[in-house]
Amino acid sequence: MQFSHLEGLIAAPFTPMSKDGALNLALIPAYYQLLKSNRVIGAFICGSTGEGVSLTHSEKMAVAEAWAACSTNDPDFKVITLVGGTSIAECQSLAAHAEAIGLFGIALTSPFYFKPGSTDILAETCLAVAQSAPGTAFYYYHIPVLTGVSLPMLELLEAVDGRIPNFAGIKYTHEDFMDYLSCLNFNAGKYDMLWGRDECWLPALALGARGAVGSTYNYAAPLYHAITAAFNSGDFEKARELQQKSIDMIRLLGKYGGIATGKAFMKLIGLDCGTFRLPIKNMTHDRFIQFKEEVEALGFYRYSSAMGALHPQ
């Protein structure tokens, strides 16, 4: 089974919440239109940015169904849902559900409480979940900073090659460029290697990355389109300048509390996704005012995503 490699930006959407912390699924059609109008080619839902680990089983299914309702008749927009997790049975259930509602792909992180002790065991885990959705693209989500599992991904590809027919590739959220390049080149570039560090998009392009998944593509997709265009045209000075703008923007995430700051960015562009659930700390009103001033000082609105208007190539 062969899946086309994805080329372009795939956003990792925030899960919209209402003021009482319940899901706000009514916002997802507008969210889908925002991504489409800013030339984002897909959505990686229920991941880190989407608070997948903070959602119940039924909530993950409801989020997946809401995105499927928007995208089922849009073959140019790929939705991949993260299915877990620590419970393999739950992962299998979510995988089967994703296939039943017609999503393009599923993704699996390593179990992070009882951790696999080898790439062979990790491959067995991938197989156990992938076979629950045999007609759906399966991605392994490599994010050792959160899972604590830092096994080499080249070894994983060697272990799954020929064993998991629907293994499409890896979402690679790590800074090991040596391992990443080796994965890109494995078996004549067979597997789709989606880059997962927005602040390092330019060096990933230099290695050969063509597809990326990231949270900042929700609200600053035009900036990354510009980085890619500058790189492709050979204007490396411009590409470096634009990547620095990305880094300056991402530094505000750390300064103002981490992952929840992303929803503050979304509020600034006109799509209020609410707040994060505990144990994530949310921004106070006073901090939001200060944050907004710093964002404006960066010239954010010159490269931010816009509601309802296509940005030029």
Supply φ then ψ for residue 245, to 5 degrees.
-60, -40
pLDDT digits 0-9 by tens, 272-283: 999 999 999 999
Mean pLDDT of 190-215: 98
**Which percentage of the chain shows pLDDT scores above 70?**
98
Flag whether 211 is in a domain: yes
Q: Does residue 159 surpass a pLDDT of 70? A: yes
- Asked if residues 41 and 76 have their Cβ atoms less than 8 Å apart, the reply is yes
Residue 21: the pLDDT is: 87
- Asked if residues 221 and 11 have their Cβ atoms less than 8 Å apart, the reply is yes
Can you read off the two tokens belonging to residue 133? 């959705």
Mean pLDDT of 230-244: 98
**Is 238 annotated as catalytic?**
no
Q: Does residue 8 surpass a pLDDT of 80? A: yes
Q: Does residue 313 surpass a pLDDT of 60? A: no
Q: Which residue has the higher pLDDT, 309 or 174?
A: 174
pLDDT digits 0-9 by tens, 33-59: 999 999 999 999 999 999 999 999 999
Flag whether 151 is in a domain: yes
Residue 1: the pLDDT is: 79
Mean pLDDT of 191-216: 98
Q: Does residue 307 surpass a pLDDT of 90? A: no
Mean pLDDT of 82-108: 96
Flag whether 95 is in a domain: yes
Residue 125: the pLDDT is: 97
pLDDT digits 0-9 by tens, 98-149: 999 999 999 999 999 999 999 999 999 999 999 999 999 999 999 999 999 9
Flag whether 212 is in a domain: yes
Which CATH number belongs to the domain containing residue 87 in this structure?
3.20.20.70
3-state SS string for 142-181: ECHHHHCCCCCHHHHHHHHCCCCCCEEEEEECCCCHHHHH
Q: Does residue 184 surpass a pLDDT of 70? A: yes
Residue 311: the pLDDT is: 43
Flag whether 162 is in a domain: yes
The total number of structural domains that make up the chain:
1
What is the pLDDT of the chain when averaged over all its residues? 95
- Identified catalytic residue from 78, 171, 245, 263: 171
Q: Does residue 312 surpass a pLDDT of 60? A: no
Q: Does residue 309 surpass a pLDDT of 60? A: no
**Is 60 annotated as catalytic?**
no
- Asked if residues 136 and 166 have their Cβ atoms less than 8 Å apart, the reply is yes
Q: Does residue 308 surpass a pLDDT of 80? A: no
- Asked if residues 218 and 249 have their Cβ atoms less than 8 Å apart, the reply is no
Flag whether 233 is in a domain: yes
Flag whether 307 is in a domain: no
Residue 84: the pLDDT is: 84
Flag whether 311 is in a domain: no
Domain residue limits at 50: 8-302
pLDDT digits 0-9 by tens, 138-158: 999 999 999 999 999 999 999
Residue 20: the pLDDT is: 86
Q: Does residue 162 surpass a pLDDT of 90? A: yes
- Identified catalytic residue from 31, 139, 140, 141: 141
